[in-house]
Amino acid sequence: MQLIRRPRRLRSSETIRKMVREHHVRVEDLIYPMFVMFGEKKKIPVSSMPGVYNYSLDEYVVALKDVVEAGIPAVLLFGLPESKDEIGTGAYDRHGIVQEAVRLTKKHYPDLYVITDVCLCEYTDHGHCGVIQDGQVLNDPTLKLLAQTAVSHAEAGADMVAPSDMMDGRVGAIREALDEAGYTQLPIMSYAAKFASAFYGPFREAAGSTPQFGDRRTYQMDPANGNEAMLETDLDIQEGADMLIIKPALAYGDITYRTKEQFGLPIAAYNVSGEYAMVKAAAEKGWIDEKRVVMESLVSMKRAGADLIITYHALDAARWIKEEQS
């Protein structure tokens, strides 16, 4: 039998493989999550996430130099307050940790795009993402506090806000508050499909946001539900979301694909802490080639339909991408 089509012809050398490659990860696609805290000269390693740190504001500014020099266009900020209370006051304090970090970023690196996480979990003493009454997370009273948080971030100079709480109606509440405050041009990148995932464990160490009772399954989504993810996304778009986040990324490529096909908005896949930690742990054991696994994982997110990737691997990935181009 004569073979007419031989796909291997286009795999015969690195040159032709690069020429016909369908998807690429660019440095411009990367968003780097960073954790900031009050104090001075603090750069505290997150034990479950090698290479990730909690930074005091002075050390944060130093770390930003590496981000900017790597060509990474954006950071996503998470804050660790000095104190916590039952209603997360530190989240919407005009001089809170994220607000001060935004101001410092814009002072030193005005062109770096600053995205702020909008949630209460790092700031509440119970570790949940909203107001608690009788052991329940109250949806509607939480919306006002989330809106206040978003406006305070905008006032500090944030370029984009990213609500991650998964309260019903939060995008609409934030959009309305931003518009009333005069920030009609400030975009919202909604955590549209955020699942109640076991992959978040290391993040909760980094952000000090582990719930003190129960879990988050009454507001974050059931990992088994794809159709519900489409419903959540549709609602966020109707309420004014400009971009969408799918979280986690690796185990949810189908959600990214369906979201892109159905809605067409820009999507950021969040390569979360547990995904990062697994790769780092296996690489330290010598069980995997870290660079190849990371880049294969990231390109899978692009292949699924992501336009951007939020990842703790950003600094390494940026370096590897530039090495490939040189």
Q: Is 129 annotated as a binding residue?
A: yes
Angle between helices 97-108 and 57-70 (to 10 degrees): 50
Angle between helices 253-263 and 290-304 (to 10 degrees): 30
Q: Is 176 annotated as a binding residue?
A: no
Which of 41, 118, 130 shows the shortest CA–CA distance to 88?
130
Q: Is 257 annotated as a binding residue?
A: no
* Cβ atoms within 10 Å, residue 286: 8
Q: Is 216 annotated as a binding residue?
A: yes
Query: Which listed residue (84, 247, 260, 280) is catalytic?
Result: 247
Q: Is 270 annotated as a binding residue?
A: no
Q: Which two tokens stand for residue 17?
A: 């493989």
| Known catalytic membership, residue 18 | no
| Known catalytic membership, residue 280 | no
Angle between helices 57-70 and 314-325 (to 10 degrees): 20
Q: Is 204 annotated as a binding residue?
A: yes
Q: Could you give the CA distance from residue 247 to residue 195 in angstroms, rounded to a whole number?
A: 6
Query: Which listed residue (194, 260, 280, 302) is catalytic?
Result: 194
Angle between helices 139-156 and 170-180 (to 10 degrees): 40
Interacting residues of 277 by C-beta distance below 8 A, sequence separation 6+: 48, 49, 201, 202
Please provide residue 83's backbone torsions phi and psi, each rounded to the nearest 5 degrees: -145, 160
Q: Is 200 annotated as a binding residue?
A: no
As annotated, the active-site residues are 194, 247
**Binding residue positions for Zn(2+):** 119, 121, 129
**Binding residue positions for 5-aminolevulinate:** 204, 216, 273, 312
**Binding residue positions for Mg(2+):** 232
**Binding residue positions:** 119, 121, 129, 204, 216, 232, 273, 312
